């Protein structure tokens, strides 16, 4: 008996304590609760929309009156031959983007770090960010212009060097598309992605280089044995994070660089959802595509994290 009252007393005290804490921090609550509600509405409510994928969704009809169809939309999706084409494109461009978008910035950071003329280093770095700040609309316009058959610098250069004898229609051939998207991405984001690596390099202790120099290591060997291991944790964390976003790489590039002649190579999952889901009003089917995309991304994230944890003792979770 005695213990019960003690517990009750304790619980009562705790609730009182909690309320007093909230009262004391009322300003902190005022400053955060509106935004928490906002996050709930704009970020979490769409997740509720996932239920659409299991319904025969009709807009404007209340949730309780929707007709539930189970996995029908997923079955339709997996039986659609077009889906596999789109999945292939998504995976191909994501993987190419992952490999290139990961190797090139590391390489760029390593080389930029070796530039000993400070003013030149700053200049190259500033210039390298430039494309990151322009929109994909502008970038796509510029890339299309550079690759065009009339007056595009790439064709002019290749013609001038007699590598080809007639201009290549880069933007009109499907087999060029994946390469163009990947290069465009590398062109746009290399300088930006390199910032984190450069910061990591700056954090490596100078005594390590000193020791390597005393041991007679050339600068190339210093890069290999000091700089690269020094940024290894950063590289791995960024790699895992980019694997998590593998299928979520979006569709801006594909939307803006693609055209109907290369559609068999340019259509990705999100575009498929846009065209079939919104374009044709098949909301439920489109949502099923979105869900498939998210689930695969999560599986990849956990898989990548697990693999790296096992082999390198580095992980983000």
Partner 1 sequence: MAKPVQDHVLEVIVYLSMFAVTVLTLYPFLNVLAISFNDSVDTVRGGITIWPRQFTLKNYDLIFTFKGMITGFKISVLRTVIGTLAGLISGSMLAFTLSRHDFSARAFISAFLAMTMYVSGGLIPGFILMKDLHLIGTFAVYILPGLVSAFNVFVIRSFIDGLPYALQESAKLDGANDFTIFWRIILPLCKPALATVALFLAVGQWNSWFDTYLFNGSNESLTTLQYELMKILQSTTTSATNSQDSANMAQRMAQVSPESVKMAITIIVTVPILIVYPFLQKYFVKGMTLGAVKS
Interface with partner 1, residue 176, by CB under 8 A: no
Interface with partner 1, residue 199, by CB under 8 A: yes
Q: Which CB, 6 or 45, lies closer to partner 1?
A: 45
- Among positions 61-80, residues that touch partner 1 (CB under 8 A) are none
Interface with partner 1, residue 196, by CB under 8 A: yes
- Among positions 215-274, residues that touch partner 1 (CB under 8 A) are 218-221, 223, 238, 244, 252, 256, 259-261, 270, 273-274
Interface with partner 1, residue 280, by CB under 8 A: no
- Among positions 114-133, residues that touch partner 1 (CB under 8 A) are 114-115, 120, 123-124, 126-131, 133
Interface with partner 1, residue 31, by CB under 8 A: yes
DSSP assignment of the chain equals -HHHHHHHHHHHHHHHHHHHHHHHTHHHHHHHHHHHHHHIIIIIHHHHGGGGGGEE--TTS-GGGSEE-TTHHHHHHHH-HHHHHHHHHHHHHHHHHHHHHHHHHHHHHHHHHT---HHHHHHHHHHHHHHHHS-HHHHHHHHHHHH-TTT-HHHHHHHHTTS-SS---GGG-HHHHHHHHHHHHHHHHHHHHHHHHHHHHHTS-HHHHHHHHHTT--HHHHIIIIIHHHTHHHHHHHHHHHHHTSTTS-SHHHHHH--TTSHHHH--HHHHIIIIIIIS--HHHHHHHHHHHHHHHHHHHHHHHHHHHHHHS----
Which of these segments, 3-11, 73-81, 283-291, 304-312, binds partner 1 (CB under 8 A)? Answer: 283-291
Binder among 6, 11, 36, 99 for partner 1 (CB under 8 A): 36
Least distance between partner 1 and beta carbon 70 (Å): 19
Q: Which CB, 106 or 140, lies closer to partner 1?
A: 140
Binder among 6, 71, 103, 134 for partner 1 (CB under 8 A): 134
Interface with partner 1, residue 278, by CB under 8 A: yes
């Amino acid at each position: 008996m005695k213990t019960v009252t003690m517990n009750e007393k304790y619980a009562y005290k705790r609730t009182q304590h909690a309320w007093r804490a909230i009262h004391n921090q009322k300003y902190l609550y005022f400053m955060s609760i509106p935004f928490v509600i906002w996050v709930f509405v704009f970020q979490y409510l769409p997740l509720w929309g996932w239920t659409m994928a299991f319904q025969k969704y009709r807009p404007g009809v209340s949730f309780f009156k929707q007709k539930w169809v189970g996995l029908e939309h997923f079955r339709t999706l997996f039986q659609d031959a077009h889906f596999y084409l789109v999945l292939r494109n998504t995976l191909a461009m994501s993987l190419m983007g992952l490999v290139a978008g990961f190797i090139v910035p590391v390489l760029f950071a390593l080389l930029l770090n070796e530039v000993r003329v400070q003013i030149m280093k700053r200049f190259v770095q500033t210039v390298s960010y430039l494309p990151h700040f322009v929109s994909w609309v502008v970038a796509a316009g510029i890339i299309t212009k550079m690759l065009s058959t009339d007056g595009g610098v790439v064709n002019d250069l290749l013609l001038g060097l007699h590598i080809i004898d007639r201009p290549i229609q880069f933007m009109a051939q499907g087999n060029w598309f994946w390469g163009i998207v990947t290069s465009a991405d590398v062109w746009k984001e290399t300088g930006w992605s390199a910032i984190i690596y450069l910061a990591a390099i700056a954090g490596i202790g100078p005594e390590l280089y000193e020791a390597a120099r005393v041991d007679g290591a050339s600068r190339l060997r210093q890069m290999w044995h000091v700089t690269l291991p020094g940024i290894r944790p950063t590289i791995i964390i960024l790699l895992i994070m980019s694997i998590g976003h593998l299928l979520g790489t979006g569709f801006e590039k594909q939307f803006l660089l693609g055209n109907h002649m290369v559609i068999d190579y340019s259509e990705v999952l999100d575009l498929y959802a846009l065209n079939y889901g919104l374009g044709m009003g098949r909301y439920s089917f489109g949502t099923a595509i979105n869900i498939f995309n998210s689930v695969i991304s999560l599986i990849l994230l956990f898989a990548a994290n697990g693999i790296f944890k096992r082999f390198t003792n580095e992980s983000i979770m």
